[in-house]
Amino acid sequence: MLHAIDDTSVDEAIALFRKGFPVHDESFWRDGLERLTRHHETNGFGPVGYLMGKPGSRTGVALTMVSERMEPDGQRRRVVNLSSWYVEEQARWLAPMMLKHLTAEAGATFTDLTPSPSVRRLIGNLGFQPWNSGSTRAVLPWAALFGGWSEALITGDALASSALTPGQRLIVADHAAMGCITAGLVQGERVSPIVFQPKRRRGLPTARLIYAERKSELFGQFGAVARFLLSQGMVCVDVPARAGDLVPGGWFTTGAPPTFYKGDMGGDCVDHAWSEFVFLRL
């Protein structure tokens, strides 16, 4: 029923993506798929996604963005982020079976960061749990007035030479190479990376949080983080959050779509690493 997206079928995949998400043009999909394919081929992660239906009569498409997290004991855990899922109306009765196949890998963690309302209902039936219900936003010049010491934040050479684990170091290096803003939070002898994606929201340079191991630590040093982001040319910040999660000087909004996960994922973390926000630059 499902066939891997490859060089012979990428044009069919792009045609379905453009039909399902008409706001994006062909170059958007080709550029994003090129970045995603490079990541998968470099790491041996297999297909970047799947098509449903026979060649010449495809009826569904989805991206499966694979990455790995290194656990403290050295074990590797696969994370599969589902994205850009579209099924033609006449084949939507097959959508649950397609999704069940896409999430069948034992031991993997699955995420869906941009699900449509109809997809949210489907993934709930397959064991996905709500993660963040919106985001907390702040204007950085105001947030910079709040607490947080600059010594608690390291960047550049200091971050590169810090006591990051191999897994943390890979997150920083890969995302910095793809244009993200990276830094490290210092908590005693431990350093934890934070990654932001620069984007524009309503014309304003905005830093969207892509990765943080503990939001509580980020919020505790948010004044220093805000001052750093200002130095990078950002004006606003957007942090995936649950109701009640607030950056100092910020507000909570459900304007951002809710996110979901299935498997092993800490509730206090934000882990959108190697996702559509980075590869497709949404």
**Total Cβ atoms within 10 A of residue 186:** 20
pLDDT at 275 over 90: yes
Residue 155 CA to residue 181 CA, distance in Å, equals 10
Read off the pLDDT of residues 185-225 as tens digits, 9 standing for 90 and up.
Answer: 988 788 899 999 999 988 999 999 999 999 988 988 899 99
- CATH number for region 2-130: 3.40.630.30
Residue 234: per-residue pLDDT:
98
- Amino acid present at 10: V
User: Phi and psi (nearest 5°) for 192?
Assistant: -125, 130
Residue 229 CA to residue 223 CA, distance in Å, equals 10
pTM (2 d.p.): 0.92
Read off the pLDDT of residues 137-189 as tens digits, 9 standing for 90 and up.
Answer: 999 999 988 876 666 888 888 887 778 888 899 999 999 999 999 999 988 78
Residue 70: per-residue pLDDT:
83
Residue 151: per-residue pLDDT:
66
Residues of the chain with CATH 3.40.630.30: 2-130
Element of type H or E holding 57? strand 57-70
Read off the pLDDT of residues 217-258 as tens digits, 9 standing for 90 and up.
Answer: 898 889 999 999 999 999 999 999 998 888 888 899 988 889
User: Phi and psi (nearest 5°) for 70?
Assistant: -95, 120
Residue 209: per-residue pLDDT:
97
Residue 188: per-residue pLDDT:
79
Read off the pLDDT of residues 62-80 as tens digits, 9 standing for 90 and up.
Answer: 999 999 998 767 788 999 9
Q: Which residues are 252's β-sheet partners? A: 136
223: which DSSP letter? H
